[in-house]
Structure 1
Amino acid sequence: MAESNKTSPLFSARAQVRVAAGPDQVYAVVSDLPRSGEWSTECLGGRWVAGAPGTVGAVFQGENRRSEDVVAWAPVVRGDWTTESEVVAAEPGRAFRWAMRDSAGNAQDSVWAFELSPDGDGTTLVHHFRMGRATEGIRKIVSDLDDPAKQRFFAEWGEKVAGDLADTLQRLRIVIEKDA
């Protein structure tokens, strides 16, 4: 969801699902970013390029693909592209978060996260995304848009991200429960 005042995040979305597996087992899967192609709506997987895999400070290079029909009118990246992200929290059985990096390798205020909590004999898995300030990519997308087009983009992109989180969790639940 796009927010207009300066104290709110630019985008913030959240989805949750109950998984029939314990928090440690769920964490082992969600923190294995090279496997993300098994459940992500855009990330095809990738590889760790720096640091110990899955630990704070480790850098992951993701391979991504976006179809032509995603917010089709806006100048977003389509087809295949790569991203780099840096792990900013790695708490086994509890939380795994990563921040998208800019072209200079700096972590941006754009964080994807999995939060886990015990739920009987399973786990409540929350997937959320928060972008406080516009990233390098978002600034490029909106740079030539007028104000109404910017508002339209923020609204449609926020809906896309919320849908992606929910879809990703459903796919992830299937992967984890199949392995359980």
Structure 2
Amino acid sequence: MEREWVVEESVVVGVAPEAAYGVVAQVRRTGEWSPECRAVWARRGALVAGERFVGWNRKGLLLWFTTCRVTVAEPGREFAFRVGALGLPIALWGYRFEPAADGGTVLTEYWQDLRTGRSRRPAELLGLVFSGTRAEDRAGVNRAGMRTTLERMKAALER
């Protein structure tokens, strides 16, 4: 099986893009939705491009943290951040907010594997040690996690 480097999943939510962004970009709430991220430490909830935060993750008995930097923070349009561990680039995660025909929002979560080049092998080893997931399997794990995350976000947004 060929390795996937990019994964996207989408859901339609019954709120406007600006409202969806306002909730999703509150990184401290990530633990409410993600099946892997349990908590986020950030100086404040809604971050701007360039700001950093720490994600605390758990899979089974394994616990680990990642350092993150917001790369895109465009209210109502897109929110994205780069993830690293021990100084190695791991992934780019993000959300796009597009108007839906019914007045709601097409909310898309995306992930790109950044474990390439000279740091590829050490970063892949970190992923295996900390998450228990082989690099070749990470896209499938993330796709399933995205579906769960998006359904939980949808429920929270439409309450």
Say which of 61, 65, 70 aligns to 2:58. Answer: 65
Q: Identify the residue that residue 110 of structure 2 maps to in structure 1.
A: 128
Q: Identify the residue that residue 143 of structure 2 maps to in structure 1.
A: 162
Give the CA deviation at 1:44.
1.4
Q: Identify the residue that residue 6 of structure 1 maps to in structure 2.
A: none
Q: Structure 1: any 5+ residue segments left out of the alignment?
A: 4-9, 68-77, 144-151
Is the contact between residue 36 and residue 43 of structure 1 (CA under 8 Å) also seen in structure 2?
yes
Q: Structure 2: any 5+ residue segments left out of the alignment?
A: none
Is the contact between residue 109 and residue 131 of structure 1 (CA under 8 Å) also seen in structure 2?
yes
Q: Identify the residue that residue 43 of structure 1 maps to in structure 2.
A: 37
Q: TM-score, normalised by structure 2?
A: 0.83
Count of residue pairs the alignment pairs up: 151
Q: TM-score, normalised by structure 1?
A: 0.74
Structure 2: distance between partners of 1:44 and 1:137: 21
Which SS does the other structure have where 2:158 is aligned? Answer: helix
Is the contact between residue 2 and residue 11 of structure 1 (CA under 8 Å) also seen in structure 2?
no
Pair 1:136–1:35, CA change in 2 (3 A):
farther
Pair 1:128–1:2, CA change in 2 (3 A):
farther
Residues 37-73 of structure 1 show CA distances to partners (whole Å, capped at 9, x for unaligned) of 1111111122215x99410111111121111xxxxxx
Is the contact between residue 110 and residue 135 of structure 1 (CA under 8 Å) also seen in structure 2?
no
Give the CA deviation at 1:139.
3.8
Structure 2: distance between partners of 1:125 and 1:91: 14
Q: Identify the residue that residue 55 of structure 1 maps to in structure 2.
A: 48
RMSD: 2.6
Structure 1: distance between partners of 2:91 and 2:136: 17
Give the CA deviation at 1:154.
3.7
